[in-house]
């Protein structure tokens, strides 16, 4: 394990040293938040597609919803800062919609987790499994 970390560091350290001027100029912008959100979304989709434990699939769905939330918050902040510039172009923006819809998404995620985990418990009681390829009663 430690040797793996040292090996990774040996690869990463020169890259980080070269990246130092870039990091000095770097400033978190809208596009960085969008890229982070995209990466989280992709990891969530990979989890939904590759795992067979239904609880981990639920967790991946939560990850996807969080990526959406990050998008909404970043856009809300962007619109809030640029409100005057956008109004000069004739675009009326509503930065409040981002946080409000984030709250709605969190509420829907909570409801989805409650119902979904209820289904998982009922399924486990009947079939003694949480693997999605063994839950195939409705498959034609």
Residues 12-71 that bind other proteins (CB under 8 A): 23, 26-36, 38-40, 42-44, 46-47, 50-53, 55-56, 58-60, 62-63, 66, 69-70
Candidates 9, 13, 87, 122: give the one binding other proteins (CB under 8 A). 122
Under the binding rule (CB under 8 A), the answer on residue 121 touching other proteins is yes
Q: Shortest distance, CB of residue 62 to other proteins, whole angstroms?
A: 7
Q: How far apart are CA 33 and CA 116, in angstroms?
A: 30
SS3 state of residue 28: coil
Tokens standing for 113? 């987790």
Beta bridge partner(s), residue 119: none
Half-sphere exposure of 52 (CA within 13 A, CB side): 7
Q: Shortest distance, CB of residue 25 to other proteins, whole angstroms?
A: 10
Give the per-residue contact string, 91-120, with other proteins (x = CB under 8 A; - = no). Answer: ----xx-xxx-xxx-xxxxxxxxxx-xxxx
- The values of phi and psi at residue 53, to 5°, are -85, 125
Place of tokens 């709250």: 103
Q: Shortest distance, CB of residue 121 to other proteins, whole angstroms?
A: 5
Under the binding rule (CB under 8 A), the answer on residue 82 touching other proteins is yes
Q: CA torsion sign, 46 to 47 to 51 to 54?
A: negative
Nearer to other proteins, 26 or 87 (CB): 26
Cβ atoms of 102 and 73 closer than 8 Å: yes
Q: Shortest distance, CB of residue 17 to other proteins, whole angstroms?
A: 15
């Amino acid at each position: 394990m430690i040797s793996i970390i040292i090996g990774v560091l040996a690869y990463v350290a020169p890259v980080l040293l070269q990246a130092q001027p870039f990091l000095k100029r770097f400033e978190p912008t809208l596009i960085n938040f969008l890229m982070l959100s995209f990466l989280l979304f992709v990891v969530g989709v990979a989890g939904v597609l590759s795992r067979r434990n239904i609880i981990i699939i639920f967790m991946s769905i939560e990850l996807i919803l969080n990526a959406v939330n990050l998008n909404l918050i970043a856009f809300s902040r962007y619109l809030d800062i640029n409100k005057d510039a956008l109004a000069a172009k004739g675009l009326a923006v509503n930065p409040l919609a981002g946080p409000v819809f984030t709250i709605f998404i969190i509420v829907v995620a909570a409801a989805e987790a409650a119902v979904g985990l209820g289904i998982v418990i009922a399924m486990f009681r009947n079939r003694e499994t949480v693997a999605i390829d063994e839950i195939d009663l409705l498959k034609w």
